Structure 1
Amino acid sequence: MFNSWGVVNGYGTYLSYYKESLLVDYNILHFNIIGATQCFFILFLSFISGRLLDANYSRWLLIGGSILLVLGMSTLSICNGAGRRGDGQYMYTWVAQGLVSGLGMACFFVSSSQIAATWFKRKKGFAIGIVASGASVSGLVYPTMLRYLIDIVGFNRSVQIVSSLIAITCLISIFLAVPNPDHHFRRPSNWFAAKTWVDKDAFKDPAFCWFTAAVSWTFFGFYCVFFSLEEWSTEAGVGYKGLEPPVPGMRALRTYWLLAIMNGSSTIGRLSSSYLCDHFGALNVHAGVTLVSSFLCLFLWTFARNLGAALAFVIIFGAFSGAVIGLPPASMAAILGPHPAQQGKLGQWTGMMYSISSFFALTGPMIASHLVIKFDTFLTVQLWSGLCLFISALCMFIAIIYHSRDESFVLRLTPASTRSRSVSCKSELSMSEV
């Protein structure tokens, strides 16, 4: 997770440098296309990686993803000339950072949460939350590291150092990220059959359909915040890009610090929300934090006019946004239910959900950046992200209703003796753990 969504979370710092120096002849729409391409491939290929995970091919995914990601990010340092002002080659940058790196990250994303999920039953949500916090830590480390190094050794050398850190952490995950051998794996008899990759039963489940719609709306507006934050802070006068503020005594921070703080605070949301999931239900917690995030964009962000308000937004939204983006696997596990045979479909159903939402992750930042160019204000991004998250929360509430009906239906069909035996088994499990 450190090297999938964590890299995407830090893309805003790359975008800011591209606009400031490397690719000065391009606008924010071109830059958002690179970040949106990363999001698209991470999500679109999730149905393939999820099915391979269900068949116990995690090691091959991690090796392939490591090769592609390190290749893409290291190539970024040699395709832009000397890395000085105006030296950038947009198409090469898109191929290296958007296409190749995005393909590599696609191998990591579903793997990270699903491998951890195989080891836990009672605390599955909390375990997935700890894994998801890797993205927030990475979103703090990579932007700070990159911008600090650019000031010292230049862009190309900085990217090489960042790529070295990516390679080291990828190597660690290859050896340590191993699924539980007792997990119920499903290897198909025919890899070329459509049912191997797409489970049609998922689309017969209203809770799955509504939750997939919710995640699609989330990605429609979510990463627009991260991609636009640094540029917005410059326009709003709460951030600056140079080594010193343009006006002496100006109450502002360097723009990358705002993005780093937002990513760092998302660790709180990822961990706390995943802990709450095990007590109040993943779907309930997920819908609540998504609704709050929408209000933060619509109201707190739009009225942030000074550094104090900007810091309040990045800290609070960062905490809630960490929960929003970290909980989909836990929510999907809740929709599938506790039965081992159903949990064996977790990788496939999660992958299908993300693949459907990939088209929204691709087009959302493009729409937001087009609105900025057309109306010449970042208010459009604030409203766009807030409305998308609000609609996402509504879809989640509908998914909760259908999921509750399904659970009630199962309980009505289950004999009382079976339910009592289930309760007895749970009691024995709790006593043995004590």
Structure 2
Amino acid sequence: MFASITKPSAMDSTLHRQHEEDEDLSFELSSPRNGFDATNMSVSSADDKDKYMDSTASPSFSMEKTKGNAQETVIPVQLHKSRDGLLDSTGSGSSRSEGPVGGQGTESQLDCPDGGLRAWLVVLGTAFSTLASLGYITSWGVFQSYYEQTLLKDHTPSSIAWIGSLQVCLVFLPGLISGRLFDLGIFKLPFVAASALLVTSTFLVAECTQYWQFVLCQGLATGLGVGMVFGPSLSVLGHWFKRKRGAAMGLTTLGSSVGGTVFPIATRTLIPAVGFPWTMRILAFILLFSLCIPCFTLARRLPPKAVSGGLFNFRAFKDSPPFTVYCVGVVFLFLGLFTVMTYIDISAVTNGVSPDYSFYLVSIVNASSLLGRVVSGILVDKTGAINFIAPTTFLAGIVTFAWPFATSKSSLTAIAVTYGFTSGTIIPGLAIPVFLLGDVSDIGRRTGMMMTLGALGGLFGAPISGAINRSSGGFKAVGYFAGTMMILAGIFMLATRYLVLRKLRGRF
């Protein structure tokens, strides 16, 4: 970037005489186009001027061009990056919006609304979409316990857990496709089709009687529908919020807490009253109502952009090491995150807690996560996403270590409340670092890539825990495994922050 030094035509002959006599020359430096002003810069002589030009930032050269009677000399001026923008060599600033860190390209300069009726209607829609997707999935623990005791009691806990693991995996795995479609501007049609699939598969679960039928309907079909609903909902928020993304994400994930609280209680209350088939049909009608709202309120704001790199952009991992490290951390997180929610119900039953109370533990976990998500939505914007979710990930890992040692109703309830709060703080801020590690035009694909890799952890986490439970005869080793995975996830999150900031402390 160069600033121009102009000598007015009226002074032309005088300046030449001063140049020849080696007297002081005064130059006025201005560059209003670049937003900074450096005045009273003086060069004492022609020789000093040459020395000044040699000392400036490379490339070091001058250009002279004549327009009419005015002579214009362009001298390069070194610019320094400041906290608020660009500074010239005199310290005057030029404000410039910050782009993404650790990624490639720069973020769109279009201002996000960060509020207003239309933006908050989007939040309302995403809240209902997470209620019907993630909220429904996180109630799996009550189905795991019910199937082990009734419909699928001839199957091992690990094999039953594969149904729930397929759900969790497919919540995030389709994000790769849905994210790419979202970036290309294809959003509403896949979203409506996925909503129809989710409702239809829930109706079909009512007719299932054999293991493979549950795997097909409640595992594959339900999981696929949930995944195509959940992923694009998060990407939509990136179009409407920037400074308040944490708050918007926190309000969005409130829906999953409400769903995760309502669905288990409704399921275990309705089964004795109307039977399993009609229970599933009632749940399907709840999903139908919930999904109608986002179908009408969710919409993209920015125009589509055909970004390079294909469906799965491997170059993003090469160009952005922080993004790579963060994705590895998400894999470890999902290996351990859903273990307590899956097995806390059945672990309570094995420790002598009445089944009439044990199923409430899943609802207690999800209800407590509501408070965690509200707190997360408030603090993530103030402290930075990783600064908040990394410590709470460590806390959730510690609670996971303690869970198998809780054997009474009161201690298990305390674990449910504590784990619900700590784990609930993680999800709202999980996608925000991904928003910051690249261009906004690629936000859907990057989110989808992160979700796809996290899906691998979600797929194998619960079955591994079930296999450990069967081989060890208890849940202590299960807690050690899941807790360790979450501690590792927190370490990788902190490593991501270090790679971005190049220091151990800072806001990110």
TM-score strictly above 0.5: yes
Q: Secondary structure at the match of 1:122?
A: coil
Q: Closer, same or farther in 2 for the Cα pair 1:30/1:304, shift >3 Å?
A: same
For residue 374 of structure 1, the aligned residue among 471, 474, 497 is: 471
Tell me which residue corresponds to 1:213: 328
For 2:329, the aligned partner's letter is A
Q: Closer, same or farther in 2 for the Cα pair 1:201/1:143, shift >3 Å?
A: same
Tell me which residue corresponds to 2:153: 24
Separation of aligned partners in 2, 1:365 and 1:324: 19
Tell me which residue corresponds to 1:227: 342
Separation of aligned partners in 1, 2:310 and 2:332: 26
For 1:373, the aligned partner's letter is R
For residue 157 of structure 1, the aligned residue among 278, 298, 312 is: 278
Separation of aligned partners in 2, 1:352 and 1:58: 17
Per-residue deviation, 1:111? 1.6
Q: Secondary structure at the match of 1:56?
A: coil
Separation of aligned partners in 1, 2:453 and 2:139: 24
Tell me which residue corresponds to 2:427: 325
Q: Return the structure number with greater strand share.
A: 2
Task: Give the TM-score normalised by structure 1.
Answer: 0.83
Query: What runs of 5+ residues in structure 1 fail to find an aligned partner?
Result: 81-88, 243-253, 337-341, 409-434
Q: Return the structure number with greater helix share.
A: 1
Tell me which residue corresponds to 2:485: 388
Tell me which residue corresponds to 2:20: none
For residue 316 of structure 2, the aligned residue among 180, 184, 201 is: 201
Per-residue deviation, 1:26? 0.8
For 1:258, the aligned partner's letter is L
Query: Is 1:241 paired with 2:355?
Result: yes
1:1-55 deviation line (CA, Å, top 9, x unaligned): 1122111100111111111111111110111100111111222211111111222
Q: Secondary structure at the match of 1:377?
A: coil
Query: Is 1:354 paired with 2:451?
Result: yes
Q: Tell which deviates more after alignment, 323-332 or 121-130.
A: 323-332
Tell me which residue corresponds to 2:233: 112
Q: Which is greater in Rg?
A: 2
Tell me which residue corresponds to 2:127: none
1:58-98 deviation line (CA, Å, top 9, x unaligned): 21121111111111111011122xxxxxxxx0000110000
Q: Which structure has more RCO (C-alpha within 8 Å, separation ≥ 6)? A: 1
Tell me which residue corresponds to 1:129: 250
Per-residue deviation, 1:277? 1.0
Task: Give the TM-score normalised by structure 2.
Answer: 0.71
Per-residue deviation, 1:204? 2.4
Q: Secondary structure at the match of 1:22?
A: coil
> In the comparison of the two structures, how many residue pairs are matched?
376
Per-residue deviation, 1:156? 0.4
* Identity across matched positions, percent: 26
Separation of aligned partners in 1, 2:441 and 2:349: 48
- 8 Å Cα contact 1:6-1:134 kept in structure 2: yes
Q: Tell which deviates more after alignment, 128-137 or 49-58.
A: 49-58
Separation of aligned partners in 2, 1:44 and 1:19: 27
Separation of aligned partners in 2, 1:138 and 1:387: 28
After TM superposition, list the pairs within 5 Å mapping 1:26-425 onto structure 2. 26-80=155-209, 89-179=210-300, 181=301, 183-187=302-306, 195-198=310-313, 200-237=315-352, 239-242=353-356, 254-299=357-402, 301-336=403-438, 342-405=439-502
Per-residue deviation, 1:194? 5.6
Query: What runs of 5+ residues in structure 2 fail to find an aligned partner?
Result: 1-129
Tell me which residue corresponds to 1:416: none
Separation of aligned partners in 1, 2:318 and 2:198: 33
For residue 15 of structure 1, the aligned residue among 139, 144, 154 is: 144
Separation of aligned partners in 2, 1:353 and 1:273: 20
Q: Secondary structure at the match of 1:26?
A: coil
